Amino acid sequence: MNQKVQDAINEQIADEFYASYLYLSMMTYFEAESLGGYAQWMRMQAEEEHAHAMKLVDFLIERGGRVQLQAIDKPKAEFDSPLAVMQAALAHEQKVTESINNLYELAVAERDYPAQVMLQWFVTEQVEEEASAGALVDQLTLAGDSGSALLMLDAKVGQRTTTA
């Protein structure tokens, strides 16, 4: 397996595990604020990010590559508001999109065709991730300071039951 691509995928694995850790932190914020619906949404998001990391781990193993786990930074734990949490989630997804795009560009430059095929799934996934977080930011922005609107949105997002 191409060493440059392998190293970059190992970095992406760490980024995906960090994302899982970040969403877990956001979940605990929402739990502390008694917003169980948003906490449920973040729990599902954390599980999804963990699955993304494992998809990359499995890819390296299948290709005969070497997985090199890296340290995971401590995520932010305190936020000013539910809107601030979702804005941070959206910003994080935008950062992940950039990282995936860079990884894809590397796979193209290194002519690593299997990595390109696998990474196409991530490119598509990031469109959904940004759209989902962006919609929640928009809804919370519209809700403004309305507690009743926040509770209605909390009930709606709490209906999420799958990571896909």
Asked if 132 and 30 touch (Cβ cutoff 8 Å), the reply is no
pLDDT of residue 163: 65
Domain layout of the chain by residue ranges: 3-157
How far apart are the C-alpha atoms of 71 and 63, rounded to whole Å? 23
Q: Which residues contact 56 (CB under 8 A, 6 or more apart)?
A: 9, 12, 13, 16
Taking all residues of the chain, what is their mean pLDDT, rounded to a whole number? 96
Label residue 114 by pLDDT band (50, 70, 90). Answer: very high
The answer to whether domain 3-157 has CATH 3.40.50.1370 is: no
- Report the pLDDT value the prediction gives residue 123, as an integer from 0 to 100: 98
User: pTM score > 0.85 for this model?
Assistant: yes
DSSP 64-89: T--------PPPP---S-HHHHHHHH
Does residue 34 register a pLDDT over 60? yes
Check: CB of residue 150 under 8 Å from CB of residue 35: yes
